[in-house]
Amino acid sequence: MLGISVLLYTVLALAPGDPFSELAQNPAVPPEVAAALRAKFGLDDPVWVRYGHWFTSMMRGDWGFSFVSRMDVDTLILQRLPTTLIVIGAAQLIAILVALPVGVLAGIRPYSVFDQVANTLAFIGFSLPTFFTGLLLILVFSIQLDWLPFVYRADINATGWKFYWEHIKQSIMPVMVLGLFQGASLVRYVRSSVLDVVKLDYVITARSKGIGERKVVTKHVVRNALIPVVTLVMLQMPVVFGGAIVTEQIFRVPGIGSLLISAMLANDTPVVMAVTFVFSCLVVLCNLIADVLYAWLDPRISYR
């Protein structure tokens, strides 16, 4: 965690030119205010002090003030974070639900027709950049068929079932885009893991016990093959965040990904810094979860 934030801040600090120069150029802000802000943000202090300030204020939850949106950054982020998390979560869930059975089936019958088809589809899946898939889906489902809306609105004037249905309808495409992309690479990983496990001695032992091939696979093979896959899913989260940024742009989902982009295009530095900080926290969290899950699933690892 420390490492990531040091890196981030180093990058920021190394940036030649004052990140607040934009502010200074903003005609709406009178020069005295700009000077006062500079003093307040301690821009004249050496790098270490600035980093310390920034880090502690981040940790304390004081994320500064967005120059563009005119509201506190943390409110801004908290408004949009749940949307992003829901979309990412749903996408990963779909990816796992699809990739697991396909990967296992492909792994236990390598080079069969099913395996070859699955492999090819997986390759196609992760060679398609998410923005292209998104646009394709929009083209087909929104424009040609007019089944699904392609602009995501967080405020829908409906109640009860209709409310949820509308939400789901507009979420399907972004979730599918992300989920399919993730699912494609996951299929390959699951298959590879299953291939590795199926060769191991204890699988032959299991077969020799006469418990039937299906049980051998579901009970013995899958349980072991899943361990590296689960940690991989968690460690792939940074990639998913990246994909989410793109998807939010295309479908205009009001999450923190699109917030990042619009902040960058508007030179709204505090927001940029804060969003990146949030991403880093999420990544660290996922790493932690990966470690814990791995220890939980594999009895050979103990934390004693």
Partner 1 sequence: MTVAQSAPTGVAAQPAATAVAARKKQHFSPWREVWRRFSRHRLALASSVVLGLIVATVVFGPFVWTVPINEIDFAAKLQGPSWAHPLGTDDLGQDVLARMIYGGRISLAVGLAAMVVAIFVGVLVGAIAGMASGKVDAALMWLADLFLSLPTLPLLLLIIYLFRDSLKAVFGVEGGIFIMIVVVIGGLRWMPAARLVRAQFLSLREKEFVEAARALGASRSRQVIQHILPNALGPVIVAATIDVAAAIIQESTLSFLGLGFPPDIPTWGRLLADAKDYLDIAPHWALASGAAIFLTVLSINFIGDGLRDALDPRRVI
Partner 2 sequence: MVETLLEIHGLKTWFKTDDGMVRAVDGVDLRIDHGETVGVVGESGCGKTVTARSVLKLIDMPPGRFEDGKILWRGRDLIPLNDEEMNKIRAREIAIIFQEPMTSLNPVYTVGDQIAEVIALHQNLGRKQAMEGAAEMLRLVNIPNPQRRVHDYPHQFSGGMRQRVMIAMALSCQPKLLIADEPTTALDVTIQAQILELMHEMKDRFGMAIMLITHAMGVVAETCQRVTVMYAGKVVEEAPVGELFGQPRHPYTQGLIRSIPRVDRAAEKKQRLEAISGTVPSLLDPPPGCRFAARCRYASDICVSEMPPLKEVAPGHLVRCVL
Any idea which residue has 């699933």 for tokens? 297
- Return the number of other C-beta atoms located less than 10 Å from residue 212's C-beta: 12
- Told to check if 85 binds partner 1 by CB under 8 A, we report no
CB of 81 to partner 1, least distance (A): 14
Identity of residue 37: L
- Told to check if 280 binds partner 1 by CB under 8 A, we report yes
CB of 70 to partner 1, least distance (A): 21
If phi > 0 it is left, if psi is from -120 to 50 it is alpha, else beta; for residue 212 that is left
For residues 187 and 198, which CB has a smaller minimum distance to partner 2 in the complex? 198
| CA pair distance 210, 33, nearest whole angstrom | 81
CB of 143 to partner 2, least distance (A): 47
Q: Please choose which of partner 2, partner 1, none residue 17 contacts, taking the beta carbon within 5 to 8 angstroms, the exact cut-off set by kind.
A: partner 1
For residues 33 and 200, which CB has a smaller minimum distance to partner 2 in the complex? 200
Q: Please choose which of partner 1, partner 2, none residue 265 contacts, taking the beta carbon within 5 to 8 angstroms, the exact cut-off set by kind.
A: partner 1
| CA pair distance 164, 197, nearest whole angstrom | 42
CA neighbours within 13 Å on the CB side: how many for 37? Answer: 16
CB of 225 to partner 2, least distance (A): 11
| CA pair distance 45, 66, nearest whole angstrom | 22
Selected from 232, 261, 289, 293, the binder of partner 1 by CB under 8 A is 261
CB of 221 to partner 1, least distance (A): 12
Q: Please choose which of partner 2, partner 1, none residue 300 contacts, taking the beta carbon within 5 to 8 angstroms, the exact cut-off set by kind.
A: partner 2
| CA pair distance 150, 249, nearest whole angstrom | 11
Q: Where are the beta strands (DSSP E) in the chain?
A: none
Token reading at 194: 């299953």
Binding site for partner 2 (CB under 8 A): 200-202, 204-213, 220, 223-224, 227, 297-300
| CA pair distance 7, 9, nearest whole angstrom | 5
- Told to check if 81 binds partner 1 by CB under 8 A, we report no
| CA pair distance 138, 147, nearest whole angstrom | 10
CA 230 to chain centroid, in Å, comes to 15
* Per-residue contact string for residues 92-131; x = within reach of partner 1 by CB under 8 A: ------------------xx--------x--xx-xxxxxx
| CA pair distance 257, 254, nearest whole angstrom | 8
* Per-residue contact string for residues 18-47; x = within reach of partner 1 by CB under 8 A: -x----------------------------
Q: Please choose which of partner 1, partner 2, none residue 220 contacts, taking the beta carbon within 5 to 8 angstroms, the exact cut-off set by kind.
A: partner 2
E strand or H helix at 100: helix 73-108
E strand or H helix at 266: none
Question: Which residues, numbered 164-223, are part of the site for partner 1 (CB under 8 A)?
Answer: 196-197, 199-201, 203-204
CB of 227 to partner 2, least distance (A): 8
